[in-house]
Amino acid sequence: MRATLLMMALCSAGMAMQALGAESDGVAFDAAPGVPVRARMLDGGRVEVRIGKDAALQLLDGVADEEGRSRLDHEDVDFDGVQDLVVRASVGQVNEAVAVYRYDARTARLQPLAPPTGTPANCDGLWSLSVDAPTRTLVSTCRGGPMWYTDFYRYQGEKLYLYRAEQLLMLDPQALAAVLALDEGGDDAGPLAVWTTFDAAGRALERAIGDGLSPPVSGVPLRGRNARVVPTRLALYSAVGDASTPRYLVAGDRVELLDERDGWLQVRYRNPTRGPVTGWIRLALPEQG
């Protein structure tokens, strides 16, 4: 009798372990009120999904690592109050590919969330995706060579658009030091980059030059790196390419770095009597003839 009970207990434990293993490869959640979703991984990163009370079958491409594996999760990625299917896979040593699928009530199927194309985003797709719920922002981060890049996305209605991105600056350190002394950025300061905030139509709303490895806080206006003017007099032009100007900065004036274009830097000087003054300086000083 004891042997029989022991055998039954071992069989029950084995079945429980098998069930636990099966559940560890899948997720279950409600994609909408009264719409249960169960998903499990298949070979090659593909995902089998059962949708609704009738368990309608749908197969998704998903993403996969070099061994064809992926991880399933669910999260409210579009801030509509219900969960979305999230598939993640490690690619290379540091990057994480991400695929997101949202429930479409019109088709009763899961549809992929695709980032907009034709934008200045640095990451091709969604990578190491994180959700910033308080600001309703998606943060995509990827590494290319020695540099980490960050793209921010937001929604206008159901449309996902690029909200903020960076452009790495390749400045000549000697030419920069000849005109501006940057404030200390700390031991972990990265290379300079122009951060740009866009509206849903792709128009630039603001720009500022900051640390390319320290993404700005989402939902807060951009603030550029501060610097001190080095030359005795530094011409402040109204536009890139201007040949003359009546405005000058002097040694010791403090400016905020805003933008870069063709070897020119846009800066903001806060005049104590006239308020903020914006203009362009030549990064490379003219050669002395």
Q: What is residue 63's predicted lDDT score, i.e. its pLDDT?
A: 95
- The low-confidence residues of the chain, meaning pLDDT below 70, are 1-24, 185-189, 284-289
Q: What is residue 144's predicted lDDT score, i.e. its pLDDT?
A: 86
Beta bridge partners of 111: 102
Q: Under a CB-based contact definition with an 8 Å cutoff, are residues 280 and 244 in contact?
A: no
User: Within 13 A of 262's CA, how many CA atoms are on the CB side?
Assistant: 5
Please state, rounded to an integer, the average pLDDT across all residues of the chain. Answer: 88
Q: What is residue 20's predicted lDDT score, i.e. its pLDDT?
A: 32
Name the pTM for this structure: 0.85
Query: In this structure, what token pair is assigned to residue 114?
Result: 């695709």
What's the one-letter identity of residue 32?
A
Distance of alpha carbon 126 from alpha carbon 140, whole angstroms: 6
Distance of alpha carbon 65 from alpha carbon 72, whole angstroms: 13
Q: Which residues, in sequence order, are CB contacts of 233 under 8 Å at separation 6+? A: 248, 249, 250, 251
Task: Using alpha carbons, select from 174, 171, 224, 170 the residue that is nearest to residue 197.
Answer: 224
Alpha helices in the chain (DSSP H): 2-24, 173-179
Q: Under a CB-based contact definition with an 8 Å cutoff, are residues 42 and 68 in contact?
A: no
